Structure 1
């Protein structure tokens, strides 16, 4: 009896929400026999690609309601960050959207720079753009290739993961790390691009387009793939905006909002690129938008690399940017700055700032309040996955279980952003 009461309550909530939005009513328990199935999609299902859960009520293969559950890997990043010096927070941001961690790093650094009033040299800005766009490509490759796997097509995944590995080799040459990169520093980059890094980057830029074209040829007009994704999980532009969608999922619904264009940062205004948009907001549109964004990222990287300015790769901000190790060994002033930064003894000015970047999944923002101490007074991460995941339970109502898998895959929900 308690189970039926719970189901009825869940249906009533979803039904009232859809009535307010003018949508189709969710079937209630009275429309079916009492033999409904409760299915746990997650927290350990392979299709969730992370630790989160959807409790689905099903009539046969058809989903009639869903309740999302998060919190399985909650790591309290924001509270941990409030007890750390500013430069030590970078590794925490790596672990949100770990598919494109350099974007998280750069977004955090720009937020702190806004608070400190640090002006980053043009060369460092262009270097950041190159690494952020590489990260965006890696993120989209993961999303779209795994969408292929979830529809039964494994070959495309193998093709593009070789290219993702080459991107990680570039990361490794630039900063020494691969997945959680801890890339860059407040004030610029940790080190300049080496000749080997530039050589690897140019080689990859030359070879990758042929692989990307082959990947698209396997999926874009594949009849089996299209049958699985066209008109599956659509969302209107109005609903997407109401839910707070940003990034590829919003652009697939036809809204051309991109933080890089609306609020340019790191010299994005210097580059020419287009904002791909869809029309139906369905799984197929989300796939196509991400593919096209990969091509636009390649355009940006080529422009940034060809025009890479001369000059320093970090700001002249000795209070916040670690001095070179050789200077620490020989110069007392450098040793003092090094000690104060490492021990977290540098105080930030009082202030309240918000800065956002265009992450792999949408607007990634950092809301920072400083009371003049050595650590943030309050810090909030705006994680795009956490915001748009709330729409998933509505998007799957009326679909089959197999549709629910591809909808989740096309939204690219990253568990690290749900449980920050």
Structure 2
């Protein structure tokens, strides 16, 4: 085994024939929290190659699952959206569904369609956030500006409906907190029409991403990788088709799946899924029924004794909730299955063989939210 030498980032000495262990972080490589990568690199200092990668997490441990156990179900929803702040609505929904299924609630049709509509707006907003940094280039800022304008337009209508800019807290057990404002659906149509994904794609999809950071399908399946990262590696799983909520059953969602597994495929999946969300928003608006958006509930909601597992297709993959109840107004156990926790493990499979010069591009294509890991 070659001799190893631990150095810090930017230590410019040449150590030919020696493996260098480089600690990247704990920093904010994706601006969504602090995690650390321990990289072993080998080769000439002018063009070193990564031979081993170990993602180290836990710097943002939040104890969310224990906090759930001392709050009633209404209070749990105020915390349930915080572990992935770019998928807040989808996270709330997963918890609400668990309680609704255990209690046998029949959620009104308008609430079901609004939930699908808001999930797609949430997905579009999250994908634009991850795409924006990938559009930066010496040639100009047109792509970044287009991504940020689109994200702001979508976030504005989400904020108008819920009152929250990041943590929406709009789901309730049995539906939604309230109906959307008058004229909101027209403003949603206008907002999504301003999202210029052609410009975003032209600047984010570049040849420098081709063939780097390849995640093989077998590795993705073994690690439980889901969402656009998994689908970019040929994992044909999308809960909007495979385990759909009532509104999605009528939308005929066809997952965006690629087989290359490289950084370029991941970026293309983000762009194509953003386009798909624009289409699904339009179809939800066309089919949105009238009627109530919630159920009248008793002062204290109690789930019957037993357990249930629910899951939704969040922007980064499968967001699941395992709820175990002893018939009280607080959960006995509420376990989260978060996409970023599984997905981040894939870095150990896709980074070996990557040139250090390509590391920024590969990490930029790999979307995670650290609160979703350190839950």
Q: Which residue of 2 aligns with 1:168?
A: 155
- Determine whether 1:380 maps to 2:335: yes
Q: Compute the TM-score of the two structures, normalised by the length of structure 1.
A: 0.81
Aligned-residue offset at 1:413: 1.4
Counterpart pick for 1:304 among 275, 278, 284: 284
Counterpart secondary structure, 1:104: helix
Which has the larger share of helix?
1
Aligned-residue offset at 1:184: 1.8
Q: How does 1:30-41 map to 2 (within 5 A)?
A: 33=16, 35-41=18-24
Distance in structure 1 (CA, Å) of the matches to 2:29 and 2:251: 39
5+ residue gaps, structure 2: 7-14
Rg larger in 1 or in 2? 1
Tell me the matched-pair count.
362
Bigger mean CA deviation after superposition, 139-148 or 367-376 = 139-148
Aligned-residue offset at 1:255: 2.5
Aligned-residue offset at 1:34: 5.7
1:97-143 deviations in Å (ceiling 9; x for gaps): 11121111112111111111111011000000110000000111111
Q: Which residue of 2 aligns with 1:273?
A: 253
- Determine whether 1:262 maps to 2:217: no
Q: How does 1:213-362 map to 2 (within 5 A)?
A: 213-220=198-205, 225-226=206-207, 228-315=208-295, 317-319=296-298, 337=299, 341=300, 346-362=301-317
- Determine whether 1:90 maps to 2:77: yes
Q: Compute the TM-score of the two structures, normalised by the length of structure 2.
A: 0.91
Distance in structure 1 (CA, Å) of the matches to 2:139 and 2:58: 30
Distance in structure 2 (CA, Å) of the matches to 1:121 and 1:364: 23
Q: Which residue of 2 aligns with 1:405?
A: 360
Distance in structure 1 (CA, Å) of the matches to 2:162 and 2:144: 26
1:134-171 deviations in Å (ceiling 9; x for gaps): 00001111112223349997542222111111112112
1:301-349 deviations in Å (ceiling 9; x for gaps): 111111111111113x422xxxxxxxxxxxxxxxxx3xxx4xxxx4321
Contact conserved, 2:4 with 2:18, CA < 8 A, in 1?
no
Q: Which residue of 2 aligns with 1:390?
A: 345
Distance in structure 1 (CA, Å) of the matches to 2:229 and 2:138: 19
Q: Which residue of 2 aligns with 1:56?
A: 39
Q: Which residue of 2 aligns with 1:419?
A: 374
